[in-house]
């Protein structure tokens, strides 16, 4: 049978694009290539022994060895949900195990948010730039993205209020050490966002994938906590919190969680059932044990290692003299964001890097929903040693200088934002 399957695909499927980052990861495996492209934690830092011991113990334990291989409850393994509620209370968030829904990574939470809120054409607010995986997940629901500008001072509050007044379905934010910029929202900006979202009754989706990776100061209050504090006359901003073990323990077990108001929690459970019935019980049990017994020590190791890598990348950028190059100075997380002069196309520098200098990064355009950002790029410092970081930044600087020296002929004019 000669079936043109693509002609049968839904209009939704037609919106799907392969991730630019996944394509680059194939090149990253080539010999001699230095890669700052992936957003992956360093596997050398995974708590392998603790995970192996937890798995062996669970599978040998007569009380758990059958339960861990059986179907589980859709909301998640209760002891893990209790441990998460306790962890959230350390962040001054009042929640009980009953409020927590376990997801297959926070990426599944993003998928659920899209399915729960978005009909084709609905407006949703994202930052400019925004996490690519969230844009991908929401895109399936065919929304109209509205990008709110963001800089070191936080979201542009004038633009935010104007767009909130138009009653979008939700505002999606990564408040701490964001992917891709590494930036965090200052406290005053968080307070203003919460107040404005409460006034216009627009839910906030708070994606906290990196909050545990703070290198310089104690973490700022989460939007979830601030909404609880800001409640006025019984009304508080609606915040849906997404957490994940991917960056603080391991991504491969695919365990994340969602926390939100009871009405939203109730609506999410059938979505979880429809998607995959429940997350792997064995994986949840392993995470619960490692989380309770070894998390603090493990996080201390991650923070000191990643802090040294962040410092190496910033120092290397300070030492390279690329005219007009600017970069973010993240206080946590895994990413530094580069901004080249407006006339430069970062994709062109990347092509030159791949051909002649054997170094990879992610050009910034895909993180933008409005066609801007061609002169930007994301560098991940988490998975390379300080020596490799210094050499990789040196190569990027050389490639950028060569592209700039080649003059406007080689460069593409960037459309005005």
Ligand X SMILES: Cc1ncc(COP(=O)(O)O)c(C=O)c1O
Interface positions with ligand X (CB under 6 A): 39, 105-107, 131, 133, 174, 179, 207, 209, 244, 246, 251, 256
Question: Are the C-beta atoms of residues 327 and 339 closer than 8 Å to each other?
Answer: yes
Provide the minimum distance between the beta carbon of 330 and ligand X in the complex, in angstroms, as a whole number: 13
Residues paired with residue 204 on neighbouring β-strands, in sequence order:
171, 239
- In Å, how far are 215, 293, 312, 318 from 305, measured between CA atoms? 10, 21, 11, 20
Cβ(336)–Cβ(313) under 8 Å? yes
Residue closer to ligand X, measured from CB, 173 or 322: 173
CB-nearer residue toward ligand X: 19 or 305: 19
Indicate the Cα dihedral angle 309, 314, 316, 318, nearest 10°.
-170
**Collapsed DSSP state (helix, strand, coil) of residue 170:** coil
**What b/e sequence results for 345-373 when a residue is b if at least 16 CB atoms lie within 10 Å of its CB, and e otherwise?**
bbbbbbebbbeebbbbbbbbbbbbbeebb
CB closer to ligand X out of 209 and 404: 209
> Least distance from C-beta 130 to ligand X, angstroms?
9
User: Which of 235, 215, 211 is CA-nearest to residue 223?
Assistant: 211
Q: Which is nearer to ligand X, 131 or 145 (CB)?
A: 131
Report in angstroms how near the CB of residue 179 gets to ligand X at its nearest.
Answer: 4
**Shortest Cβ 302–ligand X spacing (Å):** 15
Q: What's the min distance (Å) between Cβ of 6 and ligand X?
A: 28
CA 250 vs CA 37, 66, 290, 314: distances in Å: 19, 24, 11, 26
CB of 244 to ligand X, least distance (A): 3
The Cα–Cα gap between 45 and 366 comes to 29
How many other C-beta atoms can be found within 10 angstroms of the C-beta atom of residue 413? Answer: 10
Q: Which is nearer to ligand X, 107 or 222 (CB)?
A: 107
Closest distance of CB 210 from ligand X, Å: 7
Tokens of 50: 């603790």
d(CA 174, CA 242): 10
Report how far residue 140's alpha carbon sits from residue 375's, in angstroms, rounded to the nearest whole number.
Answer: 27
Nearest distance from C-beta of residue 107 to ligand X, angstroms: 3
Cβ burial, residue 244 (10 Å; 0-12/13-18/19+): buried
Q: Which residue is nearest to ligand X (CB)?
A: 105
């Amino acid at each position: 049978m000669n079936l043109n399957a693509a002609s049968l695909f839904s209009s939704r499927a037609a919106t799907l694009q392969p991730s630019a980052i996944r394509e680059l990861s194939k090149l990253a495996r080539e010999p001699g290539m230095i890669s700052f492209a992936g957003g992956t934690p360093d596997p050398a830092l995974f708590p392998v022994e603790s995970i192996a011991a937890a798995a062996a113990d669970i599978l040998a334990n007569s009380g758990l060895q059958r339960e861990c291989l059986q179907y589980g409850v859709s909301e998640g393994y209760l002891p893990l949900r209790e441990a998460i509620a306790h962890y959230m209370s350390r962040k001054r968030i009042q929640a009980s195990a009953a409020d927590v829904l376990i997801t297959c990574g926070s990426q599944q939470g993003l998928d659920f948010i899209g399915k729960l809120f978005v009909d084709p054409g609905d407006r949703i607010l994202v930052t400019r730039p925004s996490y690519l995986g969230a844009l991908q997940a929401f895109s399936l629901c065919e929304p109209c993205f509205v990008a709110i500008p963001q800089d070191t001072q936080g979201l542009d509050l004038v633009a935010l209020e104007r767009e909130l007044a138009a009653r979008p379905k939700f505002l999606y934010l990564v408040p701490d050490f964001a992917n891709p910029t590494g930036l965090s929202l200052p406290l005053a900006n968080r307070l203003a966002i919460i107040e404005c979202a409460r006034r216009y009754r627009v839910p906030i989706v708070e994606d906290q994938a990196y909050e545990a990776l703070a290198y310089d100061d104690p973490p700022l209050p989460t939007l979830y906590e601030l909404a609880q504090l800001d409640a006025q006359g019984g009304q508080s901003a609606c915040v849906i919190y997404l957490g994940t073990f991917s960056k603080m323990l391991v991504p491969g077990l695919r365990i994340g969680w969602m926390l939100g108001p009871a009405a939203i929690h109730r609506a999410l459970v059938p979505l979880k059932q429809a998607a995959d019935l429940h997350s792997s019980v064995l994986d949840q049990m392993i995470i619960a044990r490692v989380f309770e017994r070894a998390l603090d020590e493990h996080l201390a190791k991650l923070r000191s290692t990643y802090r040294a890598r962040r410092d190496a990348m910033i120092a290397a950028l300070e030492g390279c003299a690329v005219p007009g190059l600017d970069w973010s100075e993240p206080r946590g997380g895994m990413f530094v964001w580069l901004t080249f002069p407006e006339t430069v196309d970062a994709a062109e520098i990347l092509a030159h890097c791949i051909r002649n200098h054997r170094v990879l990064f992610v050009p910034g355009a895909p993180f933008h929903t409005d066609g801007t950002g061609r002169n930007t790029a994301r560098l991940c410092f988490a998975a390379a040693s300080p020596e490799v970081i210094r050499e990789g930044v040196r190569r990027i600087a050389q490639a950028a200088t060569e592209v700039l020296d080649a003059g406007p002929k080689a460069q593409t004019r960037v459309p005005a934002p």
